Structures are given as structure tokens and as C-alpha cells.
């Protein structure tokens, strides 16, 4: 008898873990309000949506008296933070872990630092706080202060957006080529302040004082799920400034380099991505897609790593958008295989849209202990100005 009771109690416990809490929708509730109430993070609204897709036809529309299952989630989120005592020019990036729990707290979340680069004085972090009220009818109407991504993240990410590169199918967009070192023919690698000879001059439209982007074409990229060819990686190596020109040759100085520059590398017209200012706010959308490639050779993706994504629909992303990376976990039950709600694994911010139906972003945070891999799905959860 005790054995049967134990099995019965275990079954009830498993059911509670699977179904979680419930929430009755009140007037003016939104999915991000509900997520902010139960998880302390409004950008996690897809957890509520995915757990209730049987009654939510479109995440834009929820109605009073609907009863939602609130799946239990206590994931850890690893982000980079800048200590408030950090001096400009010597920013030390640290890692913090926060745990999302189904409670309401008055403690602000940790601030997010968008880059590991040295931070100029005018770009030091400014604390931006948004106030979210608990959903109407909740037992506890405490106000939760939630620190959203600070607006200066975009001034800090500007250089990152430029150097991150993109994926393209376009060909023949180069202006010219690096031939060799100017006066140093033996050298095969160049960095900042080195002078290089180029194969274009005045009759090719090159003028003294012009600044160009140096780049190198990388490997071809395929969607890891559909095997669709997406194009080749454009690796941004740095900038050159034209010093001297002849008819079809010239000399340039390397203004800055993100990687070593070699003879044969190409240069093109310089176009720095435009990034919006303001706070990314929770945004309800149907935009989904796939992580198709990430920069670097490491198999482990960390905060600030550059990633490339492909949305399922064209022209659906904007600079500054916040994406929630997630995986779907299946659980074998007696009645068959049911899908648990999505499991968040990280957040990405979009910084460059120059690709052909692909976009470049960087990892804002890692959630939980799950590796982010190629083929990981995403949903748009935050946008600026919405």
C-alpha cells in the first residue's frame, strides 16, 4: 500500500513539474507582463506562449479569462557586467549568474555590458530601469524593477557591428587589392600603422585621403537544417587611408586592424552599420529562425561571440533586435512523446543586416548549462522603439 502511495505521489509531483502554475488572464495583461511576473524577465514570454499554443492562436492576442499554464523555469543566465567602480579605459569584464524564479522581487537585475573592449568615458554604462507591475489579480501586487539593456550598448557595439562581418552571395564588389608592403617587400603580414601598396590609383577613382575597408572572403555557409547555400563570410580585417596615388597604383596606411592583413586581401567602400539608440523592449512577434554560423574555431559559444542567423521570413529583423535562442526538449510518456515548453539557451542582439536574408549578431547571454549549437532556433523577443 505504501509503495502504491509513493508511486501516486511521485506521479502528482511529475505532473506539477510538467504543468507548473496557472495564470488567469486579466484585462490589459500581455505575455511579457506575465513572463516578467513569474520569471523576472519579460523577454522570456515565449515560454508562456509555447506552453499554451493550444489556446493561443497568435501571441499578439490573448483574452481575459483564458487560463495559462506557467511552466516551471529556474534557469541561470550568464552575462558580462561592468563593476560600477570600473574606471574608463580599463574596463574589467566579469561574469555573473542570475537565477530566474517564479516569484516577484524588488531587486533590480544585474546590468549588461555589451563588449570586452576598452570603454571611453562618454560610453560608460548608464543604468536604465523599466517598471513592470504584477498582472492584475495577482496575489502580490509588488512592483518589480527590471533593468533592460542600456541604450549605450549600441555605441559600444558600433565597432563590433563593423568588424563582425556578414554573409553574402554577392560577388565582385571589391574596389582593389593589397599588393605588398610599401617599401618592405619581404613582409607578408601587416597591422595598424603599416604602409601597404595597392593596385588602384587616380584613374580608378582612388583619391588621397579616402578611407576603405579591407576584407577577405571566408568559407561558404549552409543552413545546418535545410542545407540551403547562404553565401560566403566577409571577414572585415581593418581600414586603410590612401596616402599617395599614381595612375593605377597607390600607397595606403592601415588605420586600424581587427586581424592581420596580407598581400592579396581586398578593399571596398567603407560602410559602417547604423545602429539605433534607445532601449530594446519586450516585443511580441511571430518571427523565428535559425542560428547558421558563428565566428571563430571554438565549439563553445560565450557572451560577445559573433553569430550569424537566418530568419524564416525576409526583411523581418531590425538592428538592435533581441533574439531568444531556445531548444525544444522531448519527453517520452506512456501516452507517447510530448514536447515540453521551449528551453532558453541564450540571447542575441542583431548588429548588422547587410547579409542576404541573414543577419549578424552577438551573444548577450548564455542561459542554463546547455551548449549553443548550429541549428539552434530563435524567436524575436525585443525591439527598439516598439
| pLDDT tens digits, 212-231 | 999 999 999 999 999 999 99
Q: How far apart are CA 157 and CA 195, in angstroms?
A: 28
Residues 259-299 pLDDT 10s: 999 999 999 999 988 888 888 999 999 999 999 999 876 66
pTM over cut 0.85: no
pLDDT at 72: 86
* Domain contains 232: yes
Distance, C-alpha 62 to centroid of its chain: 27
pLDDT over 70 at 145, yes or no:
no
pLDDT over 60 at 118, yes or no:
no
pLDDT over 60 at 129, yes or no:
no
pLDDT at 89: 32
Predicted confidence band of residue 47 (pLDDT cuts 50, 70, 90): very high
pLDDT at 185: 59
pLDDT at 260: 94
Check: CB of residue 262 under 8 Å from CB of residue 194.
Answer: no
pLDDT at 297: 63
pLDDT at 76: 79
Q: How far apart are CA 213 and CA 236, in angstroms?
A: 7
* Domain contains 172: yes
* Domain contains 147: no
Q: How far apart are CA 207 and CA 230, in angstroms?
A: 35
Q: How many domains does the chain have?
A: 1
Q: Which domain holds residue 241?
A: 166-269
pLDDT over 70 at 109, yes or no:
no
pLDDT at 21: 86
Predicted confidence band of residue 1 (pLDDT cuts 50, 70, 90): very low
pLDDT at 257: 94
* Domain contains 292: no
* Domain contains 227: yes
* Domain contains 240: yes
* Domain contains 110: no
Q: Which of 105-114, 248-257, 313-322 has the lowest mean pLDDT?
A: 105-114
pLDDT at 3: 45
* Domain contains 40: no
pLDDT at 341: 81
CATH of the domain at 178: 2.40.10.410
Residues 331-348 pLDDT 10s: 444 433 344 688 899 999
Amino acid at each position: 500500500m505504501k509503495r502504491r502511495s509513493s508511486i501516486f505521489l511521485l506521479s502528482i509531483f511529475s505532473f506539477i513539474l510538467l504543468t507548473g502554475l496557472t495564470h488567469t488572464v486579466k484585462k490589459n495583461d500581455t505575455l511579457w507582463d506575465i513572463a516578467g511576473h513569474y520569471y523576472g524577465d519579460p523577454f522570456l514570454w515565449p515560454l508562456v506562449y509555447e506552453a499554451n499554443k493550444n489556446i493561443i492562436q497568435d501571441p499578439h492576442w490573448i483574452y481575459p479569462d483564458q487560463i495559462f499554464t506557467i511552466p516551471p523555469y529556474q534557469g541561470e543566465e550568464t552575462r558580462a557586467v561592468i563593476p560600477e567602480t570600473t574606471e574608463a579605459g580599463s574596463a574589467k569584464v566579469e561574469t555573473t549568474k542570475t537565477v530566474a524564479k517564479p516569484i516577484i522581487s524588488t531587486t533590480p537585475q544585474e546590468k549588461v555590458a555589451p563588449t570586452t573592449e576598452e570603454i571611453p568615458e562618454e560610453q560608460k554604462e548608464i543604468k536604465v530601469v523599466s517598471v513592470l507591475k504584477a498582472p492584475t489579480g495577482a496575489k502580490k501586487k509588488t512592483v518589480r524593477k527590471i533593468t533592460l539593456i542600456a541604450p549605450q550598448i549600441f555605441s559600444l557595439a558600433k565597432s563590433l557591428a563593423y568588424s563582425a562581418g556578414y554573409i553574402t552571395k554577392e560577388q565582385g564588389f571589391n574596389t582593389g587589392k593589397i599588393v605588398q608592403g610599401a617599401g618592405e617587400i619581404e613582409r607578408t603580414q601587416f597591422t595598424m600603422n603599416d604602409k601597404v601598396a595597392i593596385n588602384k590609383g587616380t584613374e580608378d577613382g582612388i583619391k588621397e585621403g579616402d578611407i576603405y575597408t579591407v576584407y577577405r572572403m571566408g568559407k561558404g555557409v549552409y543552413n545546418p537544417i535545410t542545407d540551403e547555400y547562404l553565401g560566403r563570410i566577409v571577414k572585415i580585417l581593418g581600414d586603410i587611408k590612401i596616402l599617395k596615388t599614381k595612375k593605377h597604383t597607390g600607397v595606403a596606411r592601415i588605420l586600424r586592424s581587427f586581424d592581420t592583413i596580407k598581400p592579396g586581401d581586398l578593399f571596398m567602400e567603407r560602410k559602417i552599420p547604423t545602429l539605433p539608440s534607445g532601449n530594446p523592449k519586450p516585443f511580441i512577434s511571430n518571427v523565428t529562425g535559425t542560428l547558421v554560423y558563428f565566428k571563430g574555431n571554438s565549439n563553445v559559444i560565450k557572451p560577445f561571440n559573433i553569430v550569424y542567423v537566418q530568419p524564416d521570413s525576409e526583411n523581418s529583423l531590425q538592428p538592435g533586435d533581441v533574439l531568444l535562442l531556445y531548444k525544444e526538449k522531448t519527453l517520452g510518456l506512456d501516452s507517447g512523446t510530448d514536447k515540453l515548453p521551449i528551453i532558453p539557451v541564450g540571447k542575441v542582439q542583431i548588429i548588422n543586416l547587410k547579409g542576404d536574408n541573414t543577419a549578424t549578431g552577438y551573444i548577450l547571454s548564455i542561459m542554463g548549462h546547455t551548449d549553443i549549437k548550429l541549428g539552434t532556433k530563435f524567436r524575436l523577443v525585443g525591439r527598439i522603439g516598439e
